[in-house]
Amino acid sequence: MRRLSTIWRFRWPLVPVTLVALATGQAPEKSTIAYVSGTTLTVTTPSGLVTNTVKLQQPVHDFALSHDRRLLVTAASLSAYGGPLALFSLQSGQWSRLTSGPVYFTRLPRGEKEVYADPRFSPDGTRIAFAIHLNSPGDDNDVIDASGPIAVMDLSNHRVRVLKSTTNIDGTGPCFANTPLWSPDGNRILFSCETGAGVTDAGGTTLQQLQMGTNEELWTAALSWVGNSCVLYVQAVDANKFDTYEVRLLDLRTGKSKDATTALKVAHEAFAGLVEAAEKVTIRRTKSDLYIDTPSKHWRLPGTSHAHLTGGWSVAAMPPACQ
């Protein structure tokens, strides 16, 4: 599972924000889309109905929004691989810093730093999973050098637990673990490496390395859970060869995969540069733009934008094997 993957950059705005509009008095919908373009965080339904808008003083280059849309976590862009994490309450408008010192790389030479990326909320909003990376000075600071595990933070006390199962992949130490994704029941975490992916229990005691890709030479990356038993993933000749992207569905119980075009109910051309997907919703990234597509709405945003899906698949839309 150790080949190159795409890298996202983050910026952490510890600055005042203005809450422009917040939906109140209504239960969150099962599926929503959150995106940051410029200095505005927007939360919308797949049909385009805006439910939350938060005006920031500077761009946020990555984030996670809790399923109840009350909390926002951002990762700073202090290095090529991330920075400190911060928590923002959409109700009170207050920021708090979540990370203040190394939790895994505790003995580093001068100039090297431990940084954090890819925060993701647990389904109940009480924990966040995130990636730990090592940032070293110099031109040789590639993703192999920046490899690091996945950690989980309890938001009630800010205690961090490094998931031991992600610290020694194939007996060679951590991979470049990234984009941790919680299972709908909150018991497991799916994550990608430079290529390939694994599933760990949320306590970090077990690891299942996933056999993805119809050809071992293909680059692969996890996209989402489909229920608690299946994983949606993308395969391509190379992460940056967008026109070669294919999407497949892996049954974790049988280890077998199949084409996912029918399950997603979107045209094959909507797979180019795919980074996230759920029922009838796709998020794609090219070199210059970010695209969000649903059956009734299409967004084209600058490439500096970031978007994430909250919620997931309805049981009715899941393939029977995943229900």
Banded model confidence at residue 30, pLDDT cuts 50, 70, 90: low
The reported pLDDT for the residue numbered 141 is 66
The reported pLDDT for the residue numbered 58 is 62
Give the CATH number of domain 18-322.
2.120.10.30
The reported pLDDT for the residue numbered 27 is 40
State the residue for tokens 């993703």.
143
| CA–CA gap between residue 270 and residue 268 (Å, rounded) | 5
State the residue for tokens 């997931």.
312
Higher pLDDT, 222 or 39: 222
Which residues sit opposite 65 in a β-bridge? 72
Banded model confidence at residue 52, pLDDT cuts 50, 70, 90: confident
| CA–CA gap between residue 20 and residue 23 (Å, rounded) | 10
The reported pLDDT for the residue numbered 173 is 93
CB 35 within 8 A of CB 305: yes
Per-residue pLDDT tens over the stretch 62-104: 899 999 889 999 988 778 888 889 999 988 888 899 998 899 9
The reported pLDDT for the residue numbered 61 is 63
Per-residue pLDDT tens over the stretch 257-287: 999 888 887 766 678 999 999 888 899 998 8
**Mean pLDDT, all residues of the chain:** 85
Banded model confidence at residue 57, pLDDT cuts 50, 70, 90: low
Banded model confidence at residue 188, pLDDT cuts 50, 70, 90: very high
Higher pLDDT, 138 or 132: 132
Which residues sit opposite 173 in a β-bridge? none
- Rg (the chain; Cα; Å): 18
| CA–CA gap between residue 223 and residue 263 (Å, rounded) | 14
What's the whole-model pTM score?
0.88
- Does residue 10 register a pLDDT over 50? no
SS3 assignment, position 294: coil
Higher pLDDT, 179 or 100: 179
User: Which has the closest alpha carbon to 45: 297, 272, 254, 216?
Assistant: 297
Domain ranges of the chain: 18-322
Higher pLDDT, 158 or 268: 158
pLDDT, average across residues 298-308: 93
pLDDT, average across residues 13-30: 43
Q: Over pLDDT 70: what percentage of the chain?
A: 86
State the residue for tokens 């940032």.
135
Banded model confidence at residue 105, pLDDT cuts 50, 70, 90: very high
- Does residue 17 register a pLDDT over 50? no
The reported pLDDT for the residue numbered 258 is 93
Per-residue pLDDT tens over the stretch 134-152: 988 765 667 788 899 999 9
pLDDT, average across residues 13-19: 43
| CA–CA gap between residue 47 and residue 17 (Å, rounded) | 27
